[in-house]
Amino acid sequence: MRTSEAIGVTKLTATEGAVLGLLAMEGEQTGYDLLKVARRSVAHVWAPAKSQLYAVLPRLERAGLARSRSGGRDRGPNRHLHRITKRGERALESWLETVEPGDREGFYLKTFLGGLMSQEALVAHYRQFRVDTLEQLAVYGELEPTNSRRGHDYYHYFLLRLGIEQAEVALAWVDEALAELEG
Amino acid sequence: MRTSEAIGVTKLTATEGAVLGLLAMEGEQTGYDLLKVARRSVAHVWAPAKSQLYAVLPRLERAGLARSRSGGRDRGPNRHLHRITKRGERALESWLETVEPGDREGFYLKTFLGGLMSQEALVAHYRQFRVDTLEQLAVYGELEPTNSRRGHDYYHYFLLRLGIEQAEVALAWVDEALAELEG
DNA sequence: CGCACCATGTAAGCAGTTACATGATTAC
DNA sequence: GTAATCATGTAACTGCTTACATGGTGCG
């Protein structure tokens, strides 16, 4: 949120984007509910700590991207129901459509919220992920022939193999996904 | 370093372990050199920022795990040559041999330094990684049948597939690695 | 009676990034 | 000249985790 109210769009961090995305997907929620939702849906991609979530919500509110109201309960601690604002929706859309080369976490998060963006934007993310994966494979391809398989290199080679295999699977996956999304 | 000088062993964070590991592997180094070494070796597993490295080195020194001397150069900024101490070696060994369930980053880092630990400790790390991978697969196995492939689930399914395929590759990889290490 | 769940947060520390700041040496 | 490399750091954030703190509700 450190930037550019001047050009009318607020830049979001991943945490902010994720929370706004959940609010957009799920509607008005308490912090507690957001945590539960996150844990049973995005968890393998993004798993915020309780303290982190409760820190982000007021930040979003101060920036005018979300608003909260005290929710209908008389007992126990005040429930704060949070919802995304129009400004928040604009910021979310702009964040969702921004492709960041090399940002794998961002890719997972944004494509998890794929239903909130245009087809073109989604495809652009997948295409960038494909490029990133190819670059990763190229790095491994340079490393591999320099590995002597002796001394410390013996141990490094195991990890190199895992990296290569993971990248190859990712490449096959992204090609299939692109075929389906663009097909 | 927040703990237990009382029992004689200092617990290390991942960053501290990684730096001590590099010092143990490469011998006396400047911060600058450590950065370069890290970038051409561990980079795909652990890639510290410059500011991070320069912050850790004095921390290690204050804890008596590393020592530095002004290195032989008259010009430019002082070169600080860092080396691991006996205490550092003990702390490193204890960190290396500690298996942390579910800590994938830690697994990568520690097995990268596999040459610095016993065969048994190394195998224990791989075995735990196998268990973690199976657990991950079990989580995906529960998620998959609940996915409707409609609405937002349509987008989540892509990520679920990637997760499953990555985990399957990891499982095959760890089995092969264990066969080689235990064989 | 105790435990799990609802619901909110604060505090403290490390992890990691980007930007700022300085200044010498070496190679083109 | 100027760019890269050597070599050191500081400042300011955000991200993320663990531990602390509080208090009501509902179930067995």
Render pLDDT for B37-96 as a digit per residue (tens, 0 to 9): 999 889 999 999 999 999 999 999 999 999 999 875 555 557 999 999 999 999 999 999
pLDDT at A75: 53
Model pTM score: 0.93
> What Å value separates CA B3 and C1' C4?
32
Q: Which residue is nearest to nucleotide C23 (CA to C1')?
A: B76
| Facing residue for B25 by CB, picked from A41, A44, A152 | A152
Q: How far apart are CA B28 and CA B34, in angstroms?
A: 9
CATH 1.10.10.10 fits A2-101, yes or no: yes
Taking contacts as CB-CB distances below 8 angstroms, the residues of chain A near B169 are 162, 165-166, 169
Residue B96: CB atoms within 10 Å: 24
Cα A164 vs. chain centroid, distance in angstroms?
A: 23
Query: In the predicted model, what is the mean pLDDT of residues A47-54?
Result: 95
Interface test with A, best of B119, B158, B168 (most A CBs within 10 A): B158
**pLDDT tens across A120-149, in order?**
999 999 999 999 999 999 999 999 999 999
**Chain B residues whose beta carbon lies within 8 Å of the beta carbon of residue A151:** 115
Angle formed by the axes of helices B152-182 and A104-112, nearest 10°: 140
- E strand or H helix that includes residue A80: strand A79-84
Query: What is the spatial distance between Cα B83 and Cα B95, in angstroms, rounded to a whole number?
Result: 18
Residues 6+ apart with CB under 8 A from B111: A155, A158, A159, B122, B125, B126
Distance from CA of B1 to the nearest CA of A (A): 23
Is the Cβ pair B44, A159 closer than 8 Å?
yes
- The answer to whether strand C lies under 7 Å from the CB of residue B43 is no
